[in-house]
Structure 1
């Protein structure tokens, strides 16, 4: 275990977002020049992984060249994979999803009694759109207590943005290795094969799966050149390879069309000796996010805390935003406290990584979640409201000194998985947190 700890905890990374990287695990493994010499060094196979259409404009075109010991095509035919422990739903249908505008909240999912790896630990919460139409998203929660062994998963439906809440993730990918801790996020993009090990025995977290292209950094506009998530704080793995064969075969899980397929192959899927390109997995430490706050009056919209976004065809409208609420200063002077109650055209799925969220007095726990759909009223609970309006000081205060919360916010209205709605973790009394809101109306102000 000590050797494995060293291999994952002292990893080197390449920094940047959307850069064209070059990485080789053996010196000279990358071809020098335009496919010169005629054959790949070390007898490797050349393979291109394209994350966008060939004719996508250059600045939005994502692809990488992989130089591997054996090509990924060397596997048996895919077969539909079914297992009683599979709890994810990949396609919206009337048999597995329902529509409700009611405010929803869930307690954290408990660790399973039986061994479950990442693939079998997926639990679908809600979603909108379709992987067949390449539009929309799904939200899952995962709880796993077993490492993925002699297998890998690739998602042909979209990108996975994973937010671990409890327990580290050791992730092997075709591009190299990543260690992702609670407080960090990782994006494993369309088609990339990966396997997740669990050094802390159990891991729980959230997943945003996006069918509508890839995540990108939001434009800063009038904010200027600095603030929010900085390009140089994103980290991409360096090349690492595994020259390994397994008599029983490696299992390749392939998520396709909302279903899980599997195929066997003799060689490790992580046999890429060198690669170059701008299409690779990456991670980001949310504690490095630089919030931009109001300094005089009114509250800024939560979109000011956007880390990554997937824009839609409508200017200024996102298919989905990933928004973070880190510790920060509340420095507005002439401002209603607490923030206003709200109805809006976006749907908001919130999760809590650590601590307690400042707008919720109780019931919203680390590992839990809430969902407020389009035009459904929401806001601070009664206890938080009463405690806040009793304060007389306008002095700046530190918000959420020990908390880290986030939100998946979408312009698409989600449908809720019936299994999530009927789950014992759903808080059927959530609506009562607002029942104590008293009338403070007075004819004289």
Structure 2
């Protein structure tokens, strides 16, 4: 979706001779979605992007998924996973997953290896810390509150840049992630009723040129016959893939700050679709931000009890005070999972407390999926086992 950009050196006409200072041709690489029928970018490499020296199977730490049985709401305390990883790629801890999306958490203190996700796009939400996403498209800086969208098959690495650890919520899709189609014109421009627009979107600065040889790149890709239908291969490239002198197009990593999301409010409580920020294959991502709340004189500002019969709802609490969950044990970095088959709603006392409120100071990222989310090992490591009973047994009883 991102608008057209041109970075570095590109020839005036596409697919024409473009020569390096020594007279040799730059190597074109067209990255495009949906078989030449959707967004693409054209990159110009100093060396052949196809030049690999070795390829070997790589076995990452094993991850298993188990159904949410017995079916119940869950509360995961992600900060209990501190110290379990070193970088933001190989150190990710998958928490919840289905065949459409995998949601994880990373606490990174060191640069990741070069990585290519050939399964789908990634959405990285920065809970805390700062980072530099280095890719074949250049450098993209990000900090707390930023969403970073990395398109399928981009080679990148994540470099923490601050004194504190980098904390990331990771959302890995089985396809593409982009703004909701209802906010885009037929030509892809953000419409006037969209809660964010092109001015809020940041692309890579570049080009980023690295001279190196015999460079390892980890690739996660599709493979039949494996547990989750994916496998990993570790390539050694003859030359560093960060050798792009210029590129142009609509396909590249981009960032958007949750703090630039303009909330849509009303006289009475607005449903979650007004918070939608991105859509992916069989899931959506929403942003709950500080906002003026309902202004009907008899309004009830917190959500009503609701049962999304087709969806599992995952909420990541990343700032402020989420009014509807007060008293449940939810804290900074918490994740709640409210599955289809369970009616969920505000904690006891939340409705009464909210009456007359004019403003909510809350920050949260929600992922609604249209297939059930299963639990990974790390979820068991950080689960609060008492959460499911907090509606019947309020805090203090």
| Secondary structure, aligned partner of 1:121 | coil
- TM norm structure 2: 0.87
The residue aligned with 2:392 is 435
* CA apart distance, 1:342: 1.3
Which of 317, 324, 330 is equivalent to 2:287?
Answer: 324
Write the deviation string for residues 360-414 of structure 1: whole angstroms up to 9, x where unpaired: 11422222211111131211112434534xx5xx4x51111xx311101122222
Q: Does 1:46 align with 2:28?
A: yes
Note if contact 1:183-1:287 (Cα within 8 Å) is conserved in structure 2.
yes
* Residue from 318, 334, 348 that aligns with 1:368: 334
Partner of 1:195: 157
Alignment equivalent of 1:181, drawn from 129, 134, 143 = 143
- What is the match of residue 2 of structure 2? 18
In structure 1, what is the Cα distance between the partners aligned to 2:4 and 2:80? 41
Confirm whether residue 304 of structure 1 aligns to residue 274 of structure 2.
yes
- Is 2:110 aligned against 1:146? yes
After superposition, the C-alpha distances for 1:268-307 in whole angstroms (9 at most, x for unaligned) are: 2211110011111100011111111112x3x211111111
Shift of 1:156: 0.3
Matches within 5 A, 1:39-438: 39-42=18-21, 43=24, 44-54=26-36, 56=37, 61-83=38-60, 86=61, 89=63, 96-100=65-69, 101-110=71-80, 112-113=82-83, 116-129=86-99, 136-148=100-112, 151-200=113-162, 201-220=164-183, 225-246=192-213, 249-257=214-222, 258-295=230-267, 297=268, 299-310=269-280, 319-333=282-296, 334-344=298-308, 345-362=310-327, 363-385=329-351, 387-388=353-354, 391=355, 394=356, 397-400=358-361, 403-417=362-376, 419-423=377-381, 425-436=382-393
Using the alignment, how far apart are the partners of 2:277 and 2:14 within structure 1? Answer: 36
Aligned partners of 1:198 and 1:305: how far apart in 2?
Answer: 29
Q: Taking structure 1 as reference, are residues 39 and 262 closer, same or farther at Cα in structure 2, changes over 3 Å only?
A: same
Task: Give, in whole Å, the separation in 1 of the partners of 2:84 and 2:260.
Answer: 36
Give the deviation of 1:324 after TM superposition. 0.4
Measured in 2, the distance between the counterparts of 1:185 and 1:359 equals 24
* DSSP-derived class of the 1:235 partner: coil
Q: Tell me the C-alpha RMSD between the 2 structures.
A: 2.4
Q: Cα distance, 1:71 vs. partner? A: 2.3
Kept in 1: contact 2:67–2:373 (CA 8 A): no
* Separation of aligned partners in 2, 1:48 and 1:35: 10
CA contact (8 A) 2:67 2:375 kept: yes
Structure 2: gaps of 5 or more residues: 185-189, 223-229
Distance in 2, matches of 1:336 and 1:300, equals 11
Deviation at 1:220, TM superposition (A): 4.0
